[in-house]
Amino acid sequence: MSPKIHLAISFLRANLHRAITLADIAQSVDLSASRLCYLFKTQVGVSPFQYLKRARLERARELLKTSLWNVKVIAAEVGYIDCNHFMRDFKKAYDATPSQYRAAYLNHQSGQRQVAIKDNKIG
């Protein structure tokens, strides 16, 4: 992967919370918008905005696991202005709403702790 695409990815990851334009990304790596799109797609396999969307949803998933922030705060933290749009994208990506995902994660973690506690009582 070219250094400019690495820089573009770093720029995207550092700015998940911001409204980003193609011009912003291109300027950050000193390429034209069309050249950036071409290189990004050929080297990463998706467009810069598809990558950005995935990165935002991955970050949201991590925040759902590691924070107690409500869904609206998490949506804003990862750059979504419209919480409903965030919830639709999240559900499409992970087959669960953000709240359902968090609940399932917490239930799974709780179950693991119970198994560990039972194992300690037996041993």
Handedness of CA 82, 83, 86, 91 (dihedral sign): negative
pLDDT tens column, 8-34: 999 999 999 999 999 999 999 999 999
* 36: CB partners within 8 A, 6+ apart: 4, 8, 22, 25, 26, 29, 48
Q: State pTM to two decimals.
A: 0.84
Backbone φ and ψ for 90, nearest 5 degrees, come out as -65, -45
pLDDT for res 112 = 60
Domain of 48, in residue numbers: 3-122
Q: CB 23: neighbour CB atoms within 10 A?
A: 11
Say which CATH number the domain at 114 has: 1.10.10.60
Classify residue 13 as exposed, middle or buried by CB count within 10 Å of its CB (0-12, 13-18, 19+).
middle
pLDDT tens column, 100-121: 999 999 888 777 654 443 444 4
For residue 41, pLDDT over 80 is answered with: yes
Query: How far apart are alpha carbons 96 and 18 in whole angstroms?
Result: 25
For residue 54, pLDDT over 70 is answered with: yes
Provide the domain count of the chain: 1
